[in-house]
Amino acid sequence: MKELVAMVDQWGRALLAHSTNDWYTIAKTQHGDFSDLSLFETRPSDQLNAQRAHDIIAAYTLAFFDKYLRGRDSDLLKASSAKYPEVTFSKKQ
């Protein structure tokens, strides 16, 4: 399992290195946190609280759809936010 996790991490780093768009990373989360399953299972103590992760993902997802489907800008998508210090924002030039 550790080998698979390392392989996925390597893919993520390669994707980020080649990305031409902005990038958002949520500390102490994993891919599975993008479903609601994490709200119903026991999490390791080194992971972000499941409800907090869910709230962050929902806020950024709504901001994304508001921008690209409704044409409404969001400060969340422009820079780091004090409201969500767990999120690292990387601006691609």
Q: What's the longest Cα–Cα distance across the chain?
A: 42
85 residue type, one letter: P
Neighbour-count burial of 29, counting CB atoms closer than 10 A to its CB (0-12 exposed, 13-18 middle, 19+ buried)? buried
Q: What does the domain layout of the chain look like in residue ranges?
A: 22-90
24-77 pLDDT, tens per residue? 889 998 878 888 888 898 888 999 999 999 999 999 999 999 999 999 999 999
- Tokens linked to 4: 């698979």
pLDDT by residue (tens digit) across 33-42?
888 888 898 8
> Distances from the Cα of 1 to the Cαs of 8, 15, 28, 58, 85, in angstroms?
11, 21, 18, 29, 30
